Structure 1
């Protein structure tokens, strides 16, 4: 009786201390999370460098981080800085009246009277929509402009988080396999199940990050390029916005180039509007339809509808990190239930991941 009480007390304290430790790390969640992502993404490169340099773990980890900085971190910092500067310029255009959402809405009403009639039948107030569009443009552009000022003020904090992320990534690259072995030893789930779950975790994280970021970068780059070629102001700004929206499956970049194409048609720029529609549907849309299933759905073995729902849910709960965390939770959910079905209900035919993915397609 005494031994059982001591064991339960210890387990209770273990849970409390673990939760307190996780709460302690909450302010650094972003840095810790992306350090883990870097460790998973660049682990194969690190292992090749270790073999090539005969077991020099520290040198291999430093070389791997250098490659990561050159390929990912420095370009991301440049894009973020340029994006905020473009947002500040947009705010100035809104304030000076060069960019007037209300005037744009009026042009759309005159050019497409059918739309106004449909809205009237549906009891939708266009004046209210025009007011909301104006307020949204002012609010969003002001937000970007304020961040342009805060970027300089928050430089120390930003680079401190960046340094922490790189510091943690170094140890995760160097000591990752040993940490996995410690977790497998500590968790009471059974070694085989734990290795299966850790494998799924690594597989989904790599596929989601690589796939979504590649699709987003290609779509955002193509969108910004066509905006620049057509002479649309703020091509870099809208390219970055399209890149961020491309993280959302199905809709993505069309939320930007679609309304812009309609506006070009409304003001009589038929050639530009038709070119943008054709390029958006045939080129930008084709990238999403071809690359995302190949890079994300196939490797995560999740059906398209589950990728969409988990990504949207991840964005709602975790912000920008949700495009990785959402599909990861969905994949672990399926993995846990597959283990349960195979081990605790063996008479039931196990659900094959590939079959589930094919059904989703």
Structure 2
């Protein structure tokens, strides 16, 4: 007995096939939506961890080779250094702030709080100096009544300051968690690279590897041009301020680092410092400090584009537009999202115009 031949199923109409495809796509879309909804709260941490892992991977490889191939030790050292960079200035600032607030609270409770007298240099400022001195002296005498009268007005900037501090603390916590996760990514780098290569090829074919290489190169170039130059500027500013005896040099250097990373630049720190030194120190010291800090402010506009352009086929002006545009749209994370998107789009546009070649 031979088995009976399988009967062919009923012929499905185009409408039925379209309905099946629509149902499958709908279920797939719902599944993707749920997956993204679960990932969304951790998206900032994931993006920063990948950025740190890609940017610091050459450093990890160099350190691993120097340590005799001990990958875990190299990853732990880089993670510890990253956490020290994040929490070191914050611990110093918090300690100083708590000490200052304790002294202020003790002075207020004991009734010994006295507004300091205006500095002598304030009266020497042309045109507005005498008026500022009179306003300072009047405020010192009438501080209590002034606070009682305008206490409600001070609530708005006070609330804004608290929100800013809370947002900054949240950003620091996210960066710290990302630094720890990036240390894990160093150890999984080879396997993750294979997965990303497979996904890129499935999405864009052979050209997906080109997009993947562009992404990695762009992250390293932006990290070198923005974060690297910002760290260099902050170190120079900190050393110069310590040598000049400027108070709170660590806090000022940390603020300069933050302003340089978010693309504001170090000018808002350097310019007031130069004015303060001219008013409070002798002329020779003021000239030396100005000569030391002015090149740092110029460094931000000269060295940064050169550093970002190294190793990239994408024109530097596209990378710069991506950096500023990404920062405005996505915040700090946009420093890397913006240039990556524009670099990939530029390469895709050239390929579509027939001026790019598919990789072999």
Greater C-alpha Rg: 2
Deviations along 1:75-119, one digit per CA (max 9) or x if unpaired, are 33323433444555677799989999x969x97785143999xxx
Which residue of 255, 258, 263 corresponds with 1:241?
A: 255
Distance (whole Å) between structure 1 residues aligned to residue 322 and residue 177 of structure 2: 31
Q: 1:182 to 1:259 in 2, by over 3 A?
A: same
Matched, 1:184 2:196: no
Distance change (3 Å), C-alpha of 1:246 and 1:182: same
* Matched residue SS, 1:299: coil
**1:198-213 pair list within 5 angstroms:** 198-213=212-227
With normalisation by structure 1, the TM-score equals: 0.67
Q: CA deviation at 1:219?
A: 0.4
Aligned to 1:280: 293
**1:231 equivalenced with 2:231 (yes/no):** no
Could you tell me which residue of structure 2 aligns to residue 62 of structure 1?
72
Q: Is the 8 A contact 1:109 1:115 kept in 2?
A: yes
Alignment of 1:254-269 (within 5 A): 254-267=267-280, 269=282
Aligned-residue CA RMSD in angstroms? 4.5
Deviation at 1:168, TM superposition (A): 4.9
Q: Which residue of 2 aligns with 1:79?
A: 89
2:236 to 222, 227, 234: 222
Task: State the match for 1:113 in structure 2.
Answer: 127
Could you tell me how far 1:32 is from its partner in structure 2? 1.2
Provide the residue aligned with 1:127 in structure 2. Answer: none
- The match for 2:44 is 30
- Deviation of the 1:147 alpha carbon: 8.9
Does the CA-based 8 Å contact 1:203-1:300 persist in structure 2?
yes
**Partner of residue 128, structure 1:** none
Distance 1:264 1:138 in 2: 29
Look up the SS of the partner of 1:232 in the other structure: coil
CA deviation profile, 1:100-152 (whole Å, cap 9, x unmatched): 9x969x97785143999xxxxxxxxxxxxxx9xx999977876788799x79x
Query: Quick one: distance in 1 between partners of 2:251 and 2:67?
Result: 43
From 321, 334, 339, the counterpart of 2:351: 339
Residue 39 of structure 1, aligned match among 41, 48, 53: 53
**Alignment coverage as a number of residue pairs:** 313
> Post-superposition shift, 1:292?
1.7
* Among candidates 336, 342, 348, match of residue 324 of structure 1: 336
Indicate how the Cα distance of structure 1 residues 110 and 235 shifts in structure 2: closer, same or farther if over 3 A, else same. Answer: same
Question: Mind listing any 5+ residue stretches in structure 1 that lack a counterpart?
Answer: 117-130, 351-361
1:177 CA displacement: 2.3
Contact 1:91 1:141 in 2 (8 A): no
State the Cα deviation string for residues 131-178 of structure 1 (Å, max 9, x = none).
9xx999977876788799x79xx98x987665555445543x141222
Query: CA 1:79–1:29 in structure 2 vs 1: closer, same or farther (change >3 Å)?
Result: farther
Change (3 A) 1:28 1:205: same
Structure 2, unmatched stretches of 5+, are 1-13, 108-112, 131-149
- Distance verdict in 2 for CA 1:256–1:338, change over 3 Å: same
Q: CA deviation at 1:74?
A: 3.4
Equivalent residues of 1:87, 1:237 under 8 A apart: no
Contact 1:315–1:323 (Cα < 8 Å) also in 2: yes
Asked if 2 retains the 8 angstrom alpha-carbon contact of 1:88 and 1:145, the reply is no
* Structure 2 equivalent of residue 356 of structure 1: none
TM-score by length of 2: 0.68
Q: After alignment, is 88-97 or 316-325 more displaced?
A: 88-97
The aligned residue for residue 253 of structure 1 is 266
The CA distance in 1 between the partners of 2:288 and 2:82, in whole Å, is 32
